[in-house]
Homo-oligomer: A and B are copies of this chain.
């Protein structure tokens, strides 16, 4: 089998570390067309758990899933001016179908607002047809030149939700509701302490009136936009003629939203929780929550150890825990420990002949390395012991990530301190600049406004950059 090279330490080269972890942990690899991604079974199992956690939350708010075509007529893209300007440079275009040159070129969807605009225009006639709340799980294509697995690939997987409403208020409420869903998911499932906030005008989605975002701090202090919810106002309704008759029988434009979270979020999990030994999966999303490594030296030991392993596996499965037994015969226990640490399985059970005798096992937690993270526990009630440990690990990951984020977020009042802050993390500042100011700050420091947090302190202060009076706080950071 493969040799176990040491990973590049995170502190030495975070980018190298990331690429190595993604590939060595068997999460993903590049496809044959430049910039495309193959998501391998272990990475896909993580994505399926992300899907499950989000999908049930969407459905609880009344959203239904549907399937829309990947092919969009080029002319659709051109109907919303800001939208086409944003996406035109990134399109993949089908010009030949069934051996014939096509009369109108077809775009492989970069996102589906235009397709949805077309369909909703047909489906929505009356106020009784509203709200319309749909979501789809699919992949989209954006012709990116600089790609990185999960973070930016030519094709990526995501969900895109699209809703239509009778009033601006309901539209606002839904935009915010989906931000709250993403925040709840990030914090409580992925143990990632995101900052929910509002994007600046410059960072808005092409065609939106407002873009809400959840922003996370990665292990190198950089920001990752991890999910977005857009208030599209009447823009797409006007471009696609989505009109309905209200209760007074008057024709009105609908108000629409869209919101998405993608396989990029897997990058957030890797870069928030990982360490020099590899991944650390948050227990609630981990494909395997526990790995059992049986240890024996001869056939006699093998029989009793595997019998106990089997029994323990069944008990854990019955307790609702996702278990992997590593019974590969050609590998040493030490190799297996390293292998599953690299893959970030939150807890490991080791069981050898002496454990069988003593009715105990060794139970190691991935987030606390070495002896400190290992305890010997009774086989009695092991399902509960492990379930409790997983809850503890989940909380510990969130606490650690929150502390790291807070330790690397600085309230600054002048440009020098700002530059220091964004070189290692976030700067939290009063801001009263305009687009030109924001652009200059970006050119000078590579930092952008990640968001204006929803949780504003209130009051007012002085903009660190323009010196003008400011009434809102912004988070700046360098971003992926």
**Chain A contact residues, CB within 8 Å of chain B:** 1, 29, 31-33, 36-41, 43-45, 47-48, 64-73, 76, 88-99, 105-106, 108, 115, 118-119, 122, 128, 134, 138-139, 141, 143, 145, 154-155, 157, 330
Given contacts A31-B71, A108-B108, contact A143 B64 (CB under 8 A): no
Q: Besides A37-B69, A91-B97, 5 other CB < 8 A contacts?
A: A38-B66, A45-B64, A69-B155, A70-B139, A93-B96
A67 touches B39 (CB 8 A): yes
A95 touches B95 (CB 8 A): yes
Q: Which residues of B contact A108 (CB under 8 A)?
A: 70, 94, 108
B38 touches A67 (CB 8 A): yes
B69 touches A115 (CB 8 A): no
Q: Which residues of B contact A98 (CB under 8 A)?
A: 89-92, 143, 145
Q: Which residues of B contact A31 (CB under 8 A)?
A: 68-69, 71, 115
> Within the complex, what minimum Cβ distance (angstroms) separates A248 from chain B?
16
A94 touches B93 (CB 8 A): yes
Given contacts A94-B93, A145-B98, contact A65 B36 (CB under 8 A): no
Interface centre among A33, A36, A89, A118 (most CB of B within 10 A): A33
Which chain B residue has the least Cβ–Cβ distance from A28? B67
Give bound CA distance, A141 to B119, whole Å: 21
Q: Which residues of B contact A92 (CB under 8 A)?
A: 71, 94, 96-98, 106
B68 touches A119 (CB 8 A): no
Partner of A36, one of B48, B71, B143: B71
Q: Copy number of this protein in the oligomer?
A: 2
Q: Which residues of B contact A69 (CB under 8 A)?
A: 31-33, 36-38, 155
The 5 residue pairs across chains A and B that have the minimum distance between CB atoms: A98-B143, A39-B67, A36-B69, A41-B64, A31-B69
Which chain B residue has the least Cβ–Cβ distance from A143? B98
> Within the complex, what minimum Cβ distance (angstroms) separates A330 from chain B?
7
Give bound CA distance, A29 to B93, whole Å: 24
Q: Which residues of B contact A1 (CB under 8 A)?
A: 128
A93 touches B95 (CB 8 A): yes
Given contacts A41-B64, A48-B65, contact A32 B94 (CB under 8 A): no
Give bound CA distance, A40 to B32, whole Å: 33
> Within the complex, what minimum Cβ distance (angstroms) separates A240 from chain B?
11
Give bound CA distance, A32 to B96, whole Å: 17
Which chain B residue has the least Cβ–Cβ distance from A42? B64
B139 touches A32 (CB 8 A): no
A32 touches B76 (CB 8 A): yes
Which chain B residue has the least Cβ–Cβ distance from A137? B137
A71 touches B115 (CB 8 A): no
Give bound CA distance, A97 to B110, whole Å: 12
Q: Which residues of B contact A44 (CB under 8 A)?
A: 64-67
Q: Which residues of B contact A115 (CB under 8 A)?
A: 31-32
Which chain B residue has the least Cβ–Cβ distance from A138? B139
Give bound CA distance, A266 to B64, whole Å: 18
Q: Which residues of B contact A119 (CB under 8 A)?
A: 29, 38
Interface centre among A76, A108, A330 (most CB of B within 10 A): A108
Q: Which residues of B contact A93 (CB under 8 A)?
A: 94-97
Q: Which residues of B contact A39 (CB under 8 A)?
A: 66-68
Partner of A155, one of B41, B71, B73, B128: B71
Give bound CA distance, A141 to B92, whole Å: 15
Q: Which residues of B contact A64 (CB under 8 A)?
A: 41, 44-45
Give bound CA distance, A148 to B65, whole Å: 22
Give bound CA distance, A37 to B71, whole Å: 10
Give bound CA distance, A391 to B134, whole Å: 31
A67 touches B154 (CB 8 A): no
Partner of A143, one of B32, B43, B97, B138: B97
B41 touches A66 (CB 8 A): yes
